[in-house]
Amino acid sequence: MLEFFDYPTLRLTWWLLLGILLIGYAVMDGFDLGLAILYRWLTHTDQERRVFLETIEPVWEGNQIWLVLGGGAIFAAWPLLYATAFSGFYFALLLVLLGLIIRPVGLNFRNKVSHPRWRAMWDWGLFVSGLVPALVFGVAFGNLFLGVPYYFDDTLRVFYTGSFWALLNPFALLVGVVSILMLCLHGATYAALKVDRTLAPRARRAGIVCGVLFIAAFIGAGAWLYWQPIPAYHLASMLPPDHPSNPLLKAVVVHSDWFHHYRTQPWLWWAPGVAVGGALLTALLLRLKRDGLAFITSSLVQAGTILTAGIALFPFFLPSSTHPSHSLSVWDASSSPLTLGLMLVAVVIFLPLVLAYTAWVFRVMKGRVTLAHVKHSSDY
């Protein structure tokens, strides 16, 4: 297999694979985060909350494999990106990690004590465990468009010159809201599919509201990029795409057109079209009580949103606002051809196994979680 792909093709392949892994995480673990945000507001009794939580308890741990795969892919395929992003976003990623830690702790400890205050405390903890990662992921994507303040020295040591609070700028926070609404739409759709039929209408209403608000926020973020003078980055010159990675050996010009790819290749508008159209269709299907189809279209919303950002940013991963020529791109941030090739072989072998296992789990856990089941549960 390694002989069939040259270095530029391997780099592009791993750019696509990274996008697939991010979409996989948004689709598979996104509904866990969205449901954790919403369930406190969609329920009136502890039994109802148990119904919502038991829809994700059997699957959340397996869903996080997509986050592990994505982090591993960045570490091995894009080591400069891994080092730079984890340095610049260190505190933000720490918040994500803490949120992801609270979730299993909350799911396990919530039912250990039956006191209302104890369970209410963990309900708020689970709310935070969904809200914080969803917000931080969106804020991180927003800052990619604004540029991140970092540079490399002659030995490729990275220096981050910004602060955590600078990441929380208005545009990035708006993208954070887009992320929250996107995942809440997905979580509400999943809940409508899985909770007791007496509770499903609440999830459907929440999904419709989140879908409409997502469309407004998504279009608003796009309009902000279009109308406001936010710097965009363009490769002016670079080494041949089969050259060993070195982000210092290129020239980058700064302009104000993040829609360049969409203007020059109009067919690419299908990506934002999938995001907006998928949200509209999801809201319609929820209204028609077609929950299974709504979950599929909600998954398309996740894919369309991530692809919209990826296409606009291409070929950049992490633009530098202070030293634009040091920005990391597909062509100068990757591992060696041998590493990318060996990893591609591993993906071909193991990704189908992950997909097969995931399909098997959801097949075993199919059906709704009912109030009657919760009432007779030994943990209640």
Q: In this predicted structure, what is the pLDDT of residue 343? A: 92
Q: In this predicted structure, what is the pLDDT of residue 352? A: 92
CB atoms within 10 A of CB 229: 7
Q: In this predicted structure, what is the pLDDT of residue 203? A: 97
| Tally of CA atoms within 13 A in the half-sphere of 228 that contains its CB | 11
Asked if residue 39 lies in contact with residue 54, where contact means CB atoms within 8 angstroms, the answer is no
Backbone φ and ψ of 317, nearest 5°: -95, -50
Q: E strands along the chain, which residues?
A: 150-152, 158-160, 232-238, 250-255, 316-318, 328-329
State how far the Cα of 11 lies from the Cα of 241, in Å rounded to an integer: 9
Amino acid at 306: I
The neighbouring-strand residues paired with 252 are 235
State how far the Cα of 286 lies from the Cα of 288, in Å rounded to an integer: 5
Q: In this predicted structure, what is the pLDDT of residue 229? A: 78
Q: E strands along 178-239, which residues?
A: 232-238
User: Cis omega (within 30 of 0) on the bond before 319?
Assistant: no
Q: Which residues contact 216 (CB under 8 A, 6 or more apart)?
A: none
The two structure tokens encoding residue 194: 């899985």
Token look-up 């297999």 returns 1
CA-CA-CA-CA torsion sign (344, 296, 57, 92) = positive
The helix or strand, by DSSP H or E, that contains position 271, with its residue range, turns out to be: helix 270-287
To the nearest 10 degrees (0 to 180), the angle between helices 7-28 and 30-42 is 20
The secondary structure of residue 265, as a DSSP letter, is: -
The two structure tokens encoding residue 236: 């002016």
Asked if residue 170 lies in contact with residue 228, where contact means CB atoms within 8 angstroms, the answer is no
| Residues of the chain falling short of pLDDT 70 | 1-4, 378-380
State how far the Cα of 55 lies from the Cα of 107, in Å rounded to an integer: 11
| Tally of CA atoms within 13 A in the half-sphere of 209 that contains its CB | 11
The neighbouring-strand residues paired with 320 are 148
Amino acid at 275: A
State how far the Cα of 12 lies from the Cα of 361, in Å rounded to an integer: 32
Q: In this predicted structure, what is the pLDDT of residue 2? A: 55
| Dihedral Cα 320, 325, 331, 332, nearest 10 deg | -80
Q: In this predicted structure, what is the pLDDT of residue 276? A: 97
The two structure tokens encoding residue 294: 């709504």
User: Going by DSSP bridges, is the β-strand pair 328-329/316-318 parallel, antiparallel, or unpaired?
Assistant: antiparallel
Amino acid at 152: F
Nearest 5°: the CA angle 23, 24, 29 is 105
CB atoms within 10 A of CB 314: 16
Q: In this predicted structure, what is the pLDDT of residue 291? A: 96
Backbone φ and ψ of 200, nearest 5°: -60, -35
Reference 188, options 311, 314, 56, 77; nearest CA is 56
Q: In this predicted structure, what is the pLDDT of residue 181? A: 98
